[in-house]
Structure formats: structure tokens, C-alpha cells
Amino acid sequence: MTDPTPDDLAGVASLAADPQRCPRQMAELTDLLADELARSHPALGTPLARVLAGRQMARLAREFGGGNFYLPKGDALERALRDMRIWSDFDGTVAGPGGAETLARREGLTTIHLYRILAAQRDLHRARVQGDLFAADEGDDHDPQAT
């Protein structure tokens, strides 16, 4: 898949900004994004926040449109956010400011549990960065059986 062009983003952003043409859930998500942008960055103002929210929705639609898209909530969301925070804050030490013992104490976890979380996050990070090394390349027309 190619990266969206500014024209692609502008087209979907204008769709997201028009409640008459936009699917209901997409319009609701755009409203939520615009509200959050306007609240967290008051200097933007509501009109610019709405434009930026439309661009964010355009990106989400390009990346995830047409497929199943799961967003965790409640405890699952809190755990996912905690695990990402741990991965981000971990400095590779045991007792340093971002060390395993410090983070475990901060999060109310055992050190062993924290290391399990780090292992799972490392696997997720590796999968995002490297992808599946054995997956067929979309543009690969080479048939190994034909040789």
C-alpha cells in the first residue's frame, strides 16, 4: 500500500467533515478527535482542530478502512496503556530510575510480571519493526516452484 497523498487525505478529511456524507461512526470519531484536540491544544481553535481531526480520520480510514478494527476499553485499555508506558519508560537497568524494580514498584507489579510485560512488548515492537520475515511479498511475482 502506498502512502496517502495530500489530495487523498484532503478528500477523506472533507468527507469526515461533512456529516451528511460521512458514515455515522466515522463522524462520531472525527467529533471525538476534534474535541480532544481543541481541549488539549486550545490555541488551535475549533475550526483547525476539526480539520486536523478530519486528517487523522483520513489516515485511520486509509490504514484500517474496510477491515475489523478493535479498540480495547476498560481494564483491557488500562493494561494496554500501562504496558506501553512500561515499555517506553524502561531504561534497561534493574534499579535505575527507569529500571525494572522501580517500574514494578510504580505500577504495583512484581518484577517477574514486569519482565513478562517487557518480553511481550519487545515481541510486539519487533513484529512492528521487522514484520513477518516469511510472509509473501505483495509485489513478488517470483514463483519458487517455477525454477
pLDDT digits (tens, 9 = 90+) for 47-61: 899 889 989 988 888
Measuring CA to CA, how many Å separate 20 from each of 15, 17, 24, 32, 124?
9, 9, 9, 17, 39
Q: For the ranges 25-29, 43-47, 69-73, 133-137, which has the lowest average pLDDT?
A: 133-137
DSSP state of 69: -
Confidence of residue 97 (pLDDT cuts 50, 70, 90): very high
What CA–CA distance (Å, rounded) separates 29 from 38?
Answer: 14
- Range 120-137 average pLDDT: 81
Average pLDDT, the chain: 81
* 1 has a pLDDT exceeding 50: no
Write down the pLDDT at residue 135: 67
Domain ranges of the chain: 6-64, 74-130
Fold of 74-130: Arc Repressor Mutant, subunit A (1.10.10)
